Amino acid sequence: MSEEKEIDVLEKIPSSLRNILTESLKLEKAENVWFYDLRSPKNIAYSTYKDEELGMILYVFEKWYWEVEEFLKQNSKYWVNETNNFFWYSFYLNPIKKDDRVRFVIQIQWKSAWFEVIKSNYEKLKTILLN
């Protein structure tokens, strides 16, 4: 894939996050599917990316962080747990039934990015994001 084409595929990711992630990960565009029983009359546009090696999925929402947080509080099966583990506003999404994933949402350039990663790779992802 040419570098120009790769940038087009990743264009929905805010540039500061894209710069951090593309240095360390092999992100690919993935098909959007409704996830986690989220349903709403609102149009929640997002783009999906994945890194197979890390076992990570990234959802980048076109809505502001606060709108996504409110949407998830009202329309998901997850408990929102606000945190300061990152440089940006962020919150974890804790499932009702425990599983092998860590899910968190961060604010980046006024957009929202939902990360889902296998627990064993969470510290590696956190290190990438914080460096």
Provide DSSP, 34-78: --TT---SS---EEEEEETTTTEEEEEESS-HHHHHHHHHHH-SE
Residues 101 and 118 sit within 8 Å (Cβ to Cβ):
yes
Residue 86 lies in domain? 3-130
Higher pLDDT, 3 or 63: 63
Label residue 35 by pLDDT band (50, 70, 90).
low
Output the six-digit token pair for 82. Answer: 């606000």
Label residue 56 by pLDDT band (50, 70, 90).
very high
Task: Report the domain count for the chain.
Answer: 1
Q: What is the pTM of this model?
A: 0.83
Label residue 42 by pLDDT band (50, 70, 90).
low
* Rounded (10°) angle between helices 15-24 and 122-130: 130
Percent of the chain at pLDDT > 90 equals 31
